[in-house]
Amino acid sequence: MPNRIDSTFARLRATRQKAFVAYVAAGDPDFSRSLEVIRALADGGADIIELGLPFSDPLADGIVNQLAAERALLAGMTTARSLELIREFRQTHQTPIVLFTYLNPVFTYGFEAFHRDAAAAGADGILLLDLPPDEAALNPELALGAGLKHIRLIAPSTPPARVKLLAQSAEGFIYALSRAGVTGAHDAPSANLDVLISSIKAHTAVPVCVGFGITTPEQAAMVAAVADGVIVGSAIVKQIQLNPDNPAAAVRAFTAPLIAATKAP
């Protein structure tokens, strides 16, 4: 069976559309409402869902996503329950899912076992924030992960030689940061995105999606004009924080204009 990420980008290329990628934390604010949120995102037109595994020490995340992870952990979410969430989602939807996580929860679960079980649950890709590909190559047990596309992260500050290394080892799509720093909506995307994207595309045919700091339809349209996809995370997570009683409705209403702007010709 073709990977859902690859199939999605093939469909988008054929229709000359850009991808809308939405991030939420698994289990935020609890299992059932989190399931409602990701179903709402899929029904609302999100092309790919990034699902963050709740972790107690998310160093690359800003305060909004840190609090989301804390809410999920307090609600009883674990790595195993996150995979159960994906299994439940797969009962009704085929939207690709990328797991956004740190090495610690995956290593604790068992690197090979996690990849196997996550793929079996219905995940399609994984972005390991703190496991560079050259470091993984030095550890035989970290070379056993099969079944998930390995998404690479590239920042504006990444040196050219490293951009080449990361781009050439990327699968599914590349997550290009619109700016340096942690996740969050405190700064708008850089006006020099086209330079970063061109430097990445010089080394790969893998689609390049841009995230960090995208909060408005205008910003989404600006990014969609130069990238293969638009990634929105903290701004969506904030809607869950502000609307705990019915986060799915709030998320769907908030993302509708962003998705429309991403898809606009």
Rg over CA atoms, the chain: 17
Closest C-alpha to 119, from 93, 97, 88, 144: 97
| Tokens standing for residue 226 | 């130069």
Q: What ranges do the domains of the chain cover? A: 4-183+190-263
CA distance 70 to 20: 26
Under DSSP, is residue 177 helix (H, G, I), strand (E, B) or coil?
A: strand
CATH number for the region 4-183+190-263 comes to 3.20.20.70
Q: Give the start-end residues of each E strand in the chain.
A: 19-25, 48-52, 97-101, 125-128, 149-150, 152-154, 174-177, 208-211, 229-232
Model confidence over 194-226: pLDDT tens digits? 999 999 999 999 999 999 889 999 999 999 999
Which residues are the active-site residues?
Answer: 50, 61
The whole-angstrom distance between residue 124's C-alpha and the CA centroid of its chain comes to 11
Walk along the chain (265 residues) and give the pLDDT tens digit of each residue: 679 999 999 999 999 999 999 999 999 999 999 999 999 999 999 999 999 999 998 877 889 999 999 999 999 999 999 999 999 999 999 999 999 999 999 999 999 999 999 999 999 999 999 888 877 777 777 777 788 999 999 999 899 999 999 999 899 999 999 865 545 545 556 667 899 999 999 999 999 999 988 999 999 999 999 999 999 999 999 999 999 999 999 999 999 999 999 998 7
In DSSP notation, 148-167 reads SEE-EEE-TTS-HHHHHHHH
Model confidence over 77-121: pLDDT tens digits? 999 999 999 999 999 999 999 999 999 999 999 999 999 999 999
CA distance 70 to 203: 38
